[in-house]
Structure 1
Amino acid sequence: MAIQSSPPAPPARPYKSVAVIGAGPSGLSAVKALNDEKAFDVIRVFERRDRVGGTWIYDPEPTPFPSPSVDPAPASNTPPETLPAFTSPLPEDATRRTGLYSYLDSNVGIEAMEFTYASHPKINSALSIRRFGFDNPTRPWQVVAGYLEDIFAKYVHQVTFDTTVERVSKDVVTGRWDVVLRRSGVSWKGEQRDHWWTETFDAVVVATGHYNIPNIPAIPGLQSWYDLWPERLEHSKQFRSREEYSGKSVVVVGGSVSASDFVMDLHRSVKAPLIISQRGLNANPALENVWKIPHVVQKPTIARVTTENGGTVEFSDGTKAVGVDKIIFATGYRLSYPFLVPNPVTDKNRLAGFYRHVFNIEDPSLTVIGQVRAALSLRNYEYQAVAVARVLAGRGNLPSQAEQKDWEEKLLAVRGPTHQFHTIAPDFKEYFDGLRAIAGPPAEGSEGYELPPYDDDWTLKGFRVLELKDQYAQRLLAKNDGSGLADEGRLLAKL
């Protein structure tokens, strides 16, 4: 009598429950990719705001400028000794407010910024049409926000809103992640309270973005200026309307996209000249003509600021601007993951120990989506998320730990140890196709899909906005009659 053997048991899934932190574009990418795999019992998303959208949420009231003597990156709040618990409400963390202003348009070509599976509506703002023509590749922020909400609708039941992740740590005994959570605005015994509790997960996906903490350079005299005129110091995250600068003497610090937007917005309405202070006078070659448009003067880095003569800014070339009403720092952001234990952010503003800026090399059950620069944003997050979901589902092709460490060491030698380490441009093909190789093909029975190979046309479409901005700057230069610069001699003088 033949013995009938049982079919082999399917391989055990390494991770059955996943926490996603953040409900912005990278969080959306994560929750969709995880759901598509059909491999997880629990997928939870925790969002500290009351809606989805992340950096595409509009806050009329911006984040206040931070005191130069205080670290602007908030530490995680200390949980009560015993959980769950109710406590008095903690004050709002103002760094969660976004940097959108009411007429902001996307600065990446929309065909490359969107996900591969869904297109943005073809809607342009009146301002972008005046500058760049009909059917240009920008979109108003409202269109992008609506696009994200429409896609997120399928997964919003998995999101817990008004909930801050305060601590994420690995339990060495259970091998699972303890996530300490705090939900604000909970009514308890007739009062508004904060509710604290802990949940445990097999894996954690951090999708909080990196546009929260303003980066302010250390400049001698800045604290004295702040003590006297805090309202005259701003970071690009605080910009809300060009009307606030009309007729004022303004210095913009920075050499990239945000700085160029402010220059184009303000050059004709501020008291001439509009001064742009940069580390390198041609920091971004694609924007070179923007710094030359009418009523704009380029200066090197700021050596110091003083409160003399109504506000004086001294530059490293020995010149100074007097009577300055506003200094706008378009100087980027600092990385911040204060809830992670241990904190992986170095003192030079780099996320250390993450392969492809995504997978924790020591423990792949901890991943980060969205920690990249110059990367075609949403599409990049999609590729990161699909790779993460398939690795967590036991289907991905993550290389050995030694190979991952070797990748980090080699990239450090090229990019250096600062936030520039996370820059993807110009190596788009290598990066996208590398994630695609990790993800591999979709599994049978899942809702996954084949990630398309990288197409060089994506880069052209993505940076088309910079080309249009350059063409617009050239038209302004062609119309320049030299007027409006009569006050330059008063503002700029040799020390």
Structure 2
Amino acid sequence: MRSKAKRIAVIGAGLSGIATAKHLEAAGLEVVVFERSSKPGGIWLYDERRPPSPTYPSEKPSVADLYAFVDKEALEGDSKRASLKIAEYELLFAPPGPAYNGLMNNNPVGILNEMKGHPWKDGLPDNVNVRVVLEYLISYMKAFDVERLIKYNTRVMNLKKRGDLWEVQFATLIIEGSERGALIEGIEEFDAVVVATGHYHHPRVPAIPGLKEWKDVWPNRIQTSKSYRRPEVFADQTILLIGSFISSTDIAKELGPFAKHIYQSNREGSVALPAKLLPGNTERITGIASFGLPLEGLPDEVAARDSLKDGQCIPASVTLVDGRVITNIDHVISCTGYHHTYPFLSSWHDDSADVKDANETVLVTDGTQVHNLYKEVFYIPDPTLAFVGIPTFVASFTFFEYQAMAVAAVFCKKALLPSETEMRKQYEQECRNKRPGRAFHSMFSLDIPLEVNYVQDLIDWLNADAEVTGGKQVEGHSEQWHAANKRNMERLRAIFLR
């Protein structure tokens, strides 16, 4: 790595990107943030529009949501047809995220998720609406003057390493009224790149026999949790939720007062929240073996694509792995998580490799894990590429800020990375200690303080190096934070162990 990284690209203006930009600039570095949406906030930005549907089953992670949207003639045309495409184009260029109208944070706000120098408002309950969380994030951004660093409506299309520099190829979408638009493409060079795009872009759609056919025939009755927005539209319906973890359970609780009946499918071997959290009209069922398609003999008006009328249930059955058959389903929502995917780094993907067979340069295989990262941040073969915001089940605002501080310290040479050999050695030990796949990045444990240990490890490293390099000492979690974390862990133990 060069003696000092001077110009840094940050991809994404959600929590991780904003925190990273703030600390990079505070370290004296030039920062440009690329955000494909027109507003900041990432996962906390609520958008009533629903994102485009993914493929059924999932597209390979290297492609993900990089839609074939570069249609300049349609975008820049004058006809009514072109203006209709502009609206579609915006959705493809920057698909809305998974936030729904009633989304609440799962980890308590307040001291547990308080970013340095920026407290939450007094008097807030532990759990608040998505809009309150976004308000906090925007107020942090304004307090530290981060917004001037952001290029909105700008999507990173590709990253290439040329010599010592990263070449960032991007496209900026300009909408001129309701009928005209333009796509401005550009290239800029940077000493280093921080990927802070999160991992809630590409829904993992299971390859259950028959599900694709249901989606093809009744597309408006089959969706993923990413496009869920409001429970009222499901009033008096029977809903099948695929998956039984956080998003599925949260949606079930929202649907409870409105739906007629809810089935929540729990595949054997998958992680599930306790069934006691579900509303009374929700039934936990086994995994799904297949979606049946008895289309033969159906009237044409029913068998035709998306022809079901309001009040008509789907005229087909679902077979469970225990042999049970359920019918009269009105709507199916897949709540089976997301793939890690970086379509602008497609050369670092290997879609054909199993997660256990990742080589020493690949970043993503099957989408369940990001490989070859030192401390889950720095790309071992070339640590001028860093990632902030990958670990799950953490107090995200404080946790990702510590990751951002580590990136800033390394890029301004106030913290020193070990040799590639040593980073590789530590990473291989981490791989031996963890299960591969989605569990690899999880910090959830009722027994071992994984999050606390990780953050303390970062702080010990940064402060030890700061004594040598003249950097600032990093303040760790306060006593108040540890007390809040203890209360939160007691809450979780009460949910999972009683």
| TM-score normalized by the length of structure 1 | 0.80
Tell me how far apart the structure 2 counterparts of residues 396 and 47 of structure 1 sit (CA, whole Å).
28
- 8 Å CA contact 1:289, 1:470 repeated in 2: no
- 8 Å CA contact 1:263, 1:290 repeated in 2: no
Q: How do 1:331-480 residues align onto structure 2 when only pairs under 5 Å count?
A: 331-340=336-345, 342-343=347-348, 344-426=363-445, 427-440=450-463, 450-453=474-477, 456-462=482-488
Distance 1:340 1:372, change over 3 A: same
Distance 1:319 1:122, change over 3 A: farther
Instruction: Output one character per residue of 1:38-93: Cα deviation in whole Å (capped at 9) or x when no partner.
Output: 2x2x211111111111111111011133231562713477999xxxxx98889332
- 8 Å CA contact 1:314, 1:320 repeated in 2: yes
Partner of 2:109: 110
Of 314, 318, 337, the match for 1:313: 318
Instruction: Output one character per residue of 1:446-480: Cα deviation in whole Å (capped at 9) or x when no partner.
Output: 99662314864353355577579789xx9xxxxxx
Distance 1:395 1:409, change over 3 A: same
Instruction: Output one character per residue of 1:75-119: Cα deviation in whole Å (capped at 9) or x when no partner.
Output: 477999xxxxx9888933266311112222111111323324322
CA offset at residue 138 of structure 1? 0.7
Tell me how far apart the structure 2 counterparts of residues 104 and 468 of structure 1 sit (CA, whole Å).
23
Which ranges in structure 2 are unaligned for 5 or more consecutive residues?
A: 78-85, 295-313, 349-362
Q: Residue 73 in 1 paired to residue 73 in 2?
A: no
Aligned residue pair count: 437
- 8 Å CA contact 2:243, 2:265 repeated in 1: yes
- SS state at 1:340 partner: helix
- 8 Å CA contact 1:397, 1:437 repeated in 2: no
Which ranges in structure 1 are unaligned for 5 or more consecutive residues?
A: 1-11, 81-85, 125-135, 475-495
Distance 1:195 1:461, change over 3 A: farther
Distance 1:386 1:145, change over 3 A: same
Q: How do 1:55-134 residues align onto structure 2 when only pairs under 5 Å count?
A: 55-68=43-56, 71=59, 73-75=64-66, 91-92=89-90, 93=92, 96-111=95-110, 112-122=112-122
Distance 1:187 1:339, change over 3 A: same
Distance 1:78 1:413, change over 3 A: farther
CA offset at residue 330 of structure 1? 1.5
Identity over the aligned pairs, expressed in percent?
27
- 8 Å CA contact 2:57, 2:207 repeated in 1: no
- 8 Å CA contact 1:137, 1:464 repeated in 2: no
Q: Which moved more, 1:245-254 or 1:68-77?
A: 68-77
Q: Residue 164 in 1 paired to residue 155 in 2?
A: yes
Tell me how far apart the structure 1 counterparts of residues 139 and 470 of structure 2 sit (CA, whole Å).
22
Q: Which amino acid aligns with 1:430?
A: N
Partner of 1:33: 23
Partner of 2:331: 326
Tell me how far apart the structure 2 counterparts of residues 55 and 449 of structure 1 sit (CA, whole Å).
31
Q: Which amino acid aligns with 1:365?
A: T
Tell me how far apart the structure 2 counterparts of residues 424 and 354 of structure 1 sit (CA, whole Å).
16
Q: Residue 155 in 1 paired to residue 146 in 2?
A: yes
Q: Which moved more, 1:253-262 or 1:356-365?
A: 253-262
Of 168, 177, 197, the match for 1:208: 197
CA offset at residue 412 of structure 1? 2.3
| TM-score normalized by the length of structure 2 | 0.80
Q: Residue 277 in 1 paired to residue 277 in 2?
A: no
Tell me how far apart the structure 1 counterparts of residues 275 and 426 of structure 2 sit (CA, whole Å).
33
Distance 1:49 1:311, change over 3 A: same
CA RMSD between the two structures: 3.1
Q: Which amino acid aligns with 2:9?
A: A
Q: How do 1:289-308 residues align onto structure 2 when only pairs under 5 Å count?
A: 289-291=276-278, 293-308=279-294
Q: Residue 243 in 1 paired to residue 248 in 2?
A: no
Distance 1:70 1:143, change over 3 A: closer
- SS state at 1:137 partner: coil
Tell me how far apart the structure 1 counterparts of residues 493 and 236 of structure 2 sit (CA, whole Å).
30
- SS state at 1:433 partner: helix
